[in-house]
Structures are given as C-alpha cells and as structure tokens.
Amino acid sequence: MKNKIRLFVAFAALFALGSACNMSTANISSFKVSKDKAGTQETKDFKAGETIYAATVIANSPDKVTVKTYLTADDAPMLNKGETVPGSEVNVELPGSGTANYSLPIPAGLKGGRFTLHAEMINAAGEKKDSKHENIKIEPASAGTSSP
C-alpha cells in the first residue's frame, strides 16, 4: 500500500512539474515600427524630419512591467556604435499585459545613418525579462526641408 501511495505522489509531482513548464510567461509578443501613430505604415526606412512610431505588445503578464524603448547608433555621424541617441529613451509602465506606444520625432538636421530601435520588458524587480529590436535606416532631409 505504501508503494502505491509513493507511486501516486511521484506521478502527481511529475504532472504538476510538467504543467508548470507549459504555462506561458510574460513576453513581448509583438514589436512593430511604423511611420504613423496607428501603425498602418510599417517600415524600417525613415527620413530626417519624420517621426518614428513603435508599438510593443506585452502578453501573459499578470504583474506590472515597464517597457523601455530607445534608439542606438550602428553607423551614424558623430555617434559611437552602440551609443544611445540622446533623448530617445522612453519608459512606459503597464499594469500587466497591454501595448506600450513610442514616438520619436527625428530632427530635420540629422545627418542620417543606421540605427537600432530597442524594446525591453522589465519586471517590477527591475529585471529585464524579454527584448526585441529592429534595425532602421534614416536618410538626411532633402535640401530645402526645414525643421518642423
């Protein structure tokens, strides 16, 4: 009888462990970069003077998270590779699953280059739990374009 109870307990423990491993955890389910606030014009190519919009969708999060979005230089005049573009970092707190929206007006005087837009999901303890990124290209404004 004791062996049957031990066997039952062992199977129950294995089942519980297997079920826990299959549970979904909080994650970035989508990261879209676009030229419009609604996200209908997805792109990775921009011109100085335009605005970069991004929507980061957090899924399966029962707890508060912070979405940190920022732009780093890959190959851009006057910026070192990997350097965060000044003024590009935005933190959005979400009470759980949801969408963090981001917008960054590109200065008309920017000389262009290649950049990476990052989105990081950070839990309440300050730990980075997931991240996504998109490589983007910014062209300089054409001659005659003035600052908005």
Q: Is 145 helix (H, G, I), strand (E, B) or coil?
A: coil
Q: Do the beta carbons of residue 128 and residue 120 sit within 8 Å?
A: yes
Terminal Cα-to-Cα distance of the chain (whole angstroms): 81
Per-residue pLDDT tens over the stretch 53-107: 999 999 999 999 999 999 999 999 989 999 999 999 999 999 999 999 999 999 8
Per-residue pLDDT tens over the stretch 12-44: 554 544 444 435 699 999 999 999 999 999 999
| pLDDT number for residue 6 | 52
| pLDDT number for residue 21 | 43
| pLDDT number for residue 19 | 41
pLDDT over 90 (residue 140): yes
How far apart CA 35 and CA 118 sit, in angstroms, is 16
Residue 108 pLDDT level (bands cut at 50, 70, 90): confident
Residue 129 pLDDT level (bands cut at 50, 70, 90): very high
**Max alpha carbon distance in the chain (Å)?**
89
Residue listed under structure tokens 């983007």: 136
pLDDT over 50 (residue 109): yes
